[in-house]
Amino acid sequence: MTGTPHPARRRRHARRLRLPASLLASLLACVAAHAQAPECKVLTQEHGLWMLPGCTLETGSPRIEEQTLAQLDYDDDGLAVVWAGDSFHYVNRQGRTQAVITWDNGPDPLAEGLMRGRVGARIGYFDARLGQAFPATFDFGWPFTDGIAQVCNGCRRGPADAQGHIPMEGGEWFHIDRQGRRVPAPATP
């Protein structure tokens, strides 16, 4: 039998096509939203990084639900470590967070009571309460040793070496004290 299909059959056929198309569009939207949803992971001593339910990424910082905060593994300084977006963050029991630089495949540790953290594209130093020690005005900075840190402005990332370490090159290098003031370079032994 050839010719034009009966109008009722054409409508039924068209409805069947629209339903899968709308379902497909809904499924694709869900998949896209899920693929773009930022992940939060918690760092544990025993298991490394694990998904962290009750955590979302808002404007670059993790926001963690109260019940999830209560379950985190805090260190002696009262800090837990979360991976969110593209960096490690220290989190305190009240939910305050601070993005820190990655050092040796983990979060930058406290050195003489201060850690190196990110404020936008700049490096700053933060205490264990996640308070900023002084304004973040550096492109890079080394940890404090004997009360002094070497920092730079105008430096940039160089090419990675065979082990994946990335040097900082160029710029102006100088030393600061724990208040962020320039100090003379320490004497070398």
pLDDT in tens, 80-100: 999 888 889 999 999 999 999
Residue with tokens 């020690």: 133
Output the six-digit token pair for 15.
């409805």
pLDDT for residue 70 is more than 60: yes
Comparison of pLDDT for 179 and 28, the residue scoring more: 179
pLDDT for residue 79 is more than 50: yes
- If pLDDT is split at 50, 70 and 90, which confidence band does 51 have? confident
Per the CB < 8 A criterion, the answer to whether 50 and 42 are in contact is: yes
Per the CB < 8 A criterion, the answer to whether 118 and 135 are in contact is: no
pTM of the predicted protein model: 0.72
Strand partners, 168: 157
- If pLDDT is split at 50, 70 and 90, which confidence band does 173 have? very high
pLDDT of residue 164: 84
Per the CB < 8 A criterion, the answer to whether 138 and 149 are in contact is: no
